[in-house]
Structure 1
Amino acid sequence: MKLSIILCTYNNADSLRLTLKELSRCELSNIEEVELIVVDNNSPDNTSDIFKQVKSLYKYKINYIFEPKQGLSNARNSGLERAAGEYILFTDDDAKIPANWLQIYLDKIQQYNPDCLYSKISVVWEKPIPLWFIPEYRPFFVCLDYGNNDLMIEDVHHEFFGKNFCIRKDVLDGFGGFNPKLGRCGDRLIAGEETLIYWKLIKSRKKTIYFPDAEVGHRLKKREYEFSNMRKMYVDSAYSFFYLSKLTTRRTWGGRPLYPLKVSFKALLDHLSNLIVSLLKNDSRYVKYNKIQIAKHLKVLSLWIKNHAIK
């Protein structure tokens, strides 16, 4: 089997139904090349019922796994363990999938024989764009667009997201899968598990390809239209940043990585200065933006002082 799709889901049954129906309509020249693995990460809603309702729509192989241990990395690793494909293609329960998505990935695998490849992600705005939205928030909406040409990726500045990336199973197994101490866990909006995989790909000089042709959409949850959710994502990202630094930074003091200390002090000075400018200009959007940046980096300093352990 060439390709295993792993879709991890938590408490998002209505959107999952849409994504699973879209995946069932994907056009394939050979259905024997593909399987779909849906990993239910201990959802309290009717996720398992949704799977049963749509399973008959599929012409290619589809499996359901229940992973009781909370955490996106745990769910992905559970799917990885069961996957039979040479390549693993990851997506989410809020992805809008085009009908040619799977075949394009199979064609690109045939073309490049890569270790990893990934494509565009755009936001599906089903409601008016919030007044507080600014371009700086795009990464937190999982937007990804590196242009309209295929690229060989050899630097750390073209990171992918888990909604739309593919990797050789043996490569991901060789990396030890996803770090279970990183990644979203229930309502905790911590990330970094994909970043760590990306850095390992670059460091080990694996053949990594970006291509624009397999774009997926990101359907937003109701809470993602609220500024309170953006603030939580920024503050929770302090944990990701600090944990990643502990895992990857060589220079330490008292068992603490020095890199986040340096970055956060500089960021605090910059955003305090920008906050004053935004207040003088009466620019409420950037007042909010600078305030949540300050909150994030104060949290980083708090984690550094406590030398917060990865749990």
Structure 2
Amino acid sequence: MSDLNISAIICTHNRDTYLGAAIDSLLDQSDCPDYEVIVVDNGSTDTTKAVVEARSPHPRLRYVWEPTLGLSVARNTGANASEAPLLAYLDDDAVATPTWLSCLCRAFEDNDTLAIAGGKVTLIWAEGMSQPPWLSDDMAGCLGRYDLGEEVCLIENPGLTPRGLNYCIRHDFLNQIGGFDPNLGRVGKKLLSNEELYMTEKALHLGWQVAYLPDALVGHNVAPERVNRSWFLQRGWWQGVSECYREQLAGKAGSKQLLRGGERIARGLYKSLKFVRDPAQRFENLVYAYGQIGYLGSAVEGMLFPPKDLPGDRPNTTS
């Protein structure tokens, strides 16, 4: 295993409907001979294990069980199972193009200071479905859409960081920062996020680079149950919670969060009224305002019950 260039890792929890296609897309990679595929089963209770076992004769494929729920926990488990210098994470409901891994490998081989890279993500709509008129392109990013154009570029604004569903990280860098932070990232039905944004902030602060690679293309299946306004409102609320946690981890907690949250609610409501005749922009700003309720609630909770697990105190969670 020490001769591997890259480990492709799928962290999955009860997504057996899409998982097989995700695995098959990784087993069918071209121009990348030295790679493996690791499936981290994060406490699934469906037929996930059977989906993997049906493909287990393939010499590249490995199955790892992780009972503790949490995307960041599962990602760290996948990293610990790998001895490759590069870790490429693909979501369990995504499909990689045949040259995905080779594109990622070339980028890291050409740049020793590259810590994180990710590629373009297009949306795969279920049969008979398309983007509804109330959903803006920016809001489609909540479904995984990610497109910064057709040219390779370095990311200097953490808000433009690559999507976690199409994400590659240098193993040495991940070890340097102690792994993915379990305070961020999805846990079961809790739609926590911002873990990639936080990783980009850490990388840039430490002098590493982060890149967007348009040719490292992945398609992401849109689950039909997500194409409704209530899911986006819930997603926005958890985005606010995640942003609050990220600020706490960065040492930016305190009363100023209450002011920031209040200003953001007012801004979102104002813009939703301003774009009252534009259903997509109106809804986008309403979701933004709603998300700040989650942000403020978490800020108050953090002030009353400060988190014990502060930056610098967390143990190294990767090997």
What's the TM-score once normalised by structure 2's chain length? 0.87
C-alpha displacement at 1:183, in angstroms?
Answer: 0.7
Deviations 1:86-134 (A, max 9, x none): 1111111011111111222223333333332221111112222223211
Amino-acid identity (%): 25
Are 2:101 and 1:105 equivalent residues in the alignment? no
Aligned to 1:277: 274
Task: Show the counterpart of 1:294.
Answer: 289
State how many pairs are aligned: 300
| 2:118 corresponds to | 118
**Paired position in structure 2 for 1:89:** 88
How many angstroms does 1:233 deviate by? 0.3
- In the alignment, residue 18 of structure 1 is paired with which amino acid? A
The answer to whether the 8 A contact 2:10-2:92 is kept is: yes
Deviation per residue, 1:28-49 (Å, 9 max, x gap): 352xx21111000001110000
Q: 1:245-281: CA deviations, max 9, x gaps?
A: 111144x5xxx262x33332222222222233344x4
Q: Determine the C-alpha separation between the residues in 1 that align with 2:19 and 2:36.
A: 17
How far did 1:215 drift?
A: 1.0
1:5 maps onto 2:2 in alignment: no
Which residue of structure 2 lines up, in the alignment, with residue 50 of structure 1?
A: 51
- The answer to whether the 8 Å contact 1:249/1:257 transfers is no
- Shift, 1:27, TM fit: 1.3
Distance in 2 (CA, whole Å) between partners of 1:119 and 1:257 is 37
Task: State the Cα RMSD in Å.
Answer: 2.0
Cα deviation code 1:142-171 (max 9, x no counterpart): 222222112233443431111112111111
More helix by share: 1
List runs of 5+ in structure 2 lacking aligned partners.
310-319
Q: Which residue of the partner structure matches residue 303 of structure 1?
A: 298
Give the Cα separation in 1 of the matches to 2:204 and 2:120.
Answer: 19
The alpha-carbon distance between structure 1 residues 275 and 144, as it changes in their structure 2 partners (threshold 3 A), is closer
| Structure 2 letter corresponding to 1:118 | G
Q: Give the conservation status (yes or no) of the 8 Å contact 1:155–1:202.
A: no
Describe the shift of the 1:112–1:290 C-alpha distance in structure 2 as closer, same or farther (beyond 3 A).
Answer: closer
Query: Any stretches of 5+ residues in structure 1 without a counterpart?
Result: none
The equivalent of 1:41 in structure 2 is: 42
Following superposition, the deviation at residue 217 of structure 1 comes to: 0.9
Q: Counterparts of 1:8 and 1:178 in 2: how far apart (Å)?
A: 13
Amino acid at match of 2:121: I
Summarize deviations over 1:10-41 as a string: whole Å, max 9, x none.
111010011111112111352xx211110000
Counterpart of 2:224 (choices 214, 218, 222) is 222
1:266 matched residue in structure 2: 263
CA contact (8 A) 1:234 1:292 kept: yes
Are residues 1:200 and 2:197 paired?
no
Q: Return the alpha-carbon distance in structure 1 between the equivalents of residues 21 and 279 of structure 2.
A: 36
